[in-house]
Amino acid sequence: MTVVVVLLAIAVGVLALLVFGLLRTHAEILRALDRAGISLDDEATASSSAEVVAERSDAVASDDPAGARDLVGTVPAGGPTKVAVTGVAHLTLLAFLSPGCRTCKQFWEAFSDPDLELPGGDTRLVVVGQDPAHDSESAMAELVPPGVKAVLSSAAWEDYDVPGSPYFVLVDGSEGRIVGAGSALRWEQLQNLLQQALDDAGLADSTGPQPPGASAGRSGRSRAQRADEALRSAGIGPGHPSLYGGQSDSNGSNGADSRAER
């Protein structure tokens, strides 16, 4: 009888070890899928994304010059490349996507639309995948729509602290800062959140969304050029009396009197 009890105890112990090993393996698989941006629970994904999607914290959009960094990597099925997102007179939407991500399918389809409009008026789209060691280079090359710039760079995922795909970062190139960052489930949802981030940052464009290739310029120089054009169209050029309304002319009369005499 004692022998039977001992054998049963050993059998239970072995089974417990097997169950523990299976649970541990299952947890590792789930973590690996999560890192790859593959969720097995759409409802949980929707819930978590709703909390993260509108994220535009001061910590992310800090004054740290390293907050936004240019991208260095390779073109899918191509050679090395560098994409500048700082020191440029436009916004850049970085879309961190993976070929094995089910949620990313919504955005691959949206980005393939030739009439796609990005909030901001001068926003450029760049799809960012991971190095070929992590993402299938051929799959990425097949998914990236024609005319959309793409780069494979795991370093960019680390620079922007990307937790998984899909993930989006909006960068103001003229100031080299991150305007907003987060995730979304649908393109329409992301569109609204990007517009909200632009409004909060004071970068809303009165002309509304424009195609990805359009650029009105958001730098100080571009704004100055547009102001000069507006003045010229109104017939006001360099030396015009209206530009010196607070100064007196050589005869001692003010600018308004001088204009009246003329």
Q: Which of 84, 103, 131 is nearest to 34 (CA)?
A: 103
Quote the mean pLDDT of the chain: 74
Q: What values do phi and psi take at 132, rounded to 5?
A: -55, -20
What is the residue type of 79?
A: G
Q: Which of 180, 38, 172 is nearest to 97 (CA)?
A: 38
Spell out the residues 6+ positions from residue 260 whose beta carbon is closer than 8 angstroms to its own: none
Return d(Cα 251, Cα 253) in angstroms, integer: 6
Return d(Cα 107, Cα 86) in angstroms, integer: 24
Q: pLDDT per residue over 97-137, tens digit each?
A: 999 899 999 999 999 998 888 888 788 999 999 999 898 89
* Structural tokens at position 135: 């993402």
Mean pLDDT, residues 66-83 taken together:
88
Mean pLDDT, residues 8-28 taken together:
77
Q: Categorize the per-residue pLDDT at 72 as very low, low, confident or very high, splitting at 50, 70 and 90.
A: very high
Return d(Cα 8, Cα 129) in angstroms, integer: 52
Q: pLDDT per residue over 185-225, tens digit each?
A: 999 999 988 988 888 888 765 444 444 434 444 444 444 55
